[in-house]
Amino acid sequence: MFREFRVLSIPVNIVTFTTAIHSCCHLNTLDYAFSLLAGIIKSGWVPDVFTYNTLIKGLLSQDRPLEAEHLFRKLIRFREIQPDVVMHSTIIDGLCKTSNTSMALKLLRKMEGIGCKPDVITYNTIIDSLCKERRVDHALDLVSEMTHKGISPDVITYNCLLQGLCSSGRWEDVERLFSEMSVRKIYSILHTYNILVDAHCKEGRTKDAQDVIEIMIQKGVPPNSITYNTLMDGFCLTGKMDRALEVLNTMRSNGIAPDCYSFNILINGYCKRQEVDKAINLLRQMPVEGIKADVQTYNTIIHGLFQMGRHNDVRSLLHEMLKKGNKPNIVTCRILLDGLCKNRYMDEAISFFRMMECKGIFSKFELAHHI
Dihedral pair phi/psi, residue 6, rounded to 5°: -130, 130
Among 303, 305, 336, 339, binds DNA (CB under 7 A): 303
> What is the closest distance, in whole angstroms, from the C-beta atom of residue 181 to DNA in the complex?
11
Among 104, 130, 140, 157, binds DNA (CB under 7 A): 157
Query: Rounded distance, CA 228 to CA 294, Å?
Result: 20
* 3 state DSSP class of 36: helix
Which is closer to DNA, CB of 226 or CB of 317? 226
Among 29, 32, 34, 49, binds DNA (CB under 7 A): 49
**Given the rule CB under 7 A, which of 31-39, 223-231, 238-246, 343-351 is the region that contacts DNA?**
223-231
Is residue 233 within the footprint of DNA (CB under 7 A)? Answer: yes
Among 138, 170, 191, 273, binds DNA (CB under 7 A): 191
- CA distances for 315 relative to 277, 295, 351, angstroms: 16, 15, 16
Among 68, 136, 156, 282, binds DNA (CB under 7 A): 156
> What is the closest distance, in whole angstroms, from the C-beta atom of residue 206 to DNA in the complex?
14
Q: What angle do CA 347, 351, 354 make, to 5 degrees?
A: 145
Query: Rounded distance, CA 113 to CA 219, Å?
Result: 44
Is residue 101 within the footprint of DNA (CB under 7 A)? Answer: no
Among 98, 101, 159, 206, binds DNA (CB under 7 A): 159
**Given the rule CB under 7 A, which of 168-176, 212-220, 259-267, 349-357 is the region that contacts DNA?**
259-267
Query: Rounded distance, CA 195 to CA 6, Å?
Result: 49
Query: Rounded distance, CA 69 to CA 365, Å?
Result: 14
Is residue 272 within the footprint of DNA (CB under 7 A)? Answer: yes
**Inter-helix orientation angle 120-132/85-97, to 10°:** 10
Instruction: Number of residues interacting with DNA: please give it, by CB under 7 A.
Output: 62
Q: What is the dihedral of CA 209, 215, 218, 219, to 10 degrees?
A: -120
> What is the closest distance, in whole angstroms, from the C-beta atom of residue 2 to DNA in the complex?
9
Is residue 50 within the footprint of DNA (CB under 7 A)? Answer: yes
Query: Rounded distance, CA 276 to CA 274, Å?
Result: 6
Which is closer to DNA, CB of 263 or CB of 349? 263
Buried b (16+ CB within 10 A) or exposed e, 304-328: bbbbeebeebbeebbeebeeeebeb
Is residue 173 within the footprint of DNA (CB under 7 A)? Answer: no
Q: Footprint of DNA on this chain (CB under 7 A)?
A: 13-16, 18-19, 22, 48-51, 53-54, 57, 84-87, 89-90, 93, 118-122, 124-125, 128, 132, 154-157, 159-160, 163, 189-192, 194-195, 198, 202, 225-226, 229-230, 233, 261, 264-265, 268, 272, 294-296, 299-300, 303, 331
